[in-house]
Amino acid sequence: MKKRISLILFASLLFCLLLTGCGNADTPKTDSFIGTWHGTYTFNEKEFTVDLHLNEDNSYTKDYTIDGVFAETETGVYTMENGDILLHAVNEQAYARYKFIDNALVNNNHPLYKVD
């Protein structure tokens, strides 16, 4: 009987250790997202540049240039969900989801890398 209780306790402890040790190692702390993220990509033979500024108060600005010419600034708030950043633009119903992959924020296969 004692051997069975010991085995059950050991199995329970092992299960708990596995659960707590299986976090996503690629997901940084929330405050490490704060700062400026930069990326470029080509779409329809035009070069897009994106500068995303994530602020401590959960607000953001995202500046776009197309072929080196300023296009627009988007503003809003961001939230975190399962290690992803969701950008909620002012006056928009939808949001943009950025996943953290290989030290980059990625949306539609377009990575942004932290510059500060």
**What would the two tokens of residue 113 be?**
């890398």
Domain that holds residue 105: 30-114
pLDDT bracket for residue 23 (50, 70, 90): very low
Residue 72 located in a structural domain: yes
pLDDT tens-digit readout, 85-100: 999 999 888 899 999 9
82: left (phi over 0), alpha (psi -120 to 50) or beta: left
**Percent share of the chain, pLDDT over 90:** 66
pLDDT tens-digit readout, 24-64: 444 445 678 999 999 999 999 999 999 999 999 999 999 99
Distance (Å, whole) CA 102 – CA 115 = 15
**Helix/strand/coil (H, E, C) string of 17-72?**
HHHHCCCCCCCCCHHHHCEEEEEEEEECCEEEEEEEEECCCCEEEEEEEECCEEEE
Q: Indicate if the pLDDT at residue 11 is higher than 90.
A: no
**What would the two tokens of residue 2 be?**
């004692």
Which class for 23: exposed (0-12), middle (13-18), buried (19 or more C-beta within 10 A)? exposed
Residue 24 located in a structural domain: no
Domains of the chain: total? 1
CATH number at residue 70: 2.40.128.300
Whole-model pTM: value is: 0.72
Distance (Å, whole) CA 60 – CA 62 = 7
Residue 98 located in a structural domain: yes
Residue 19 located in a structural domain: no
Residue 2 located in a structural domain: no
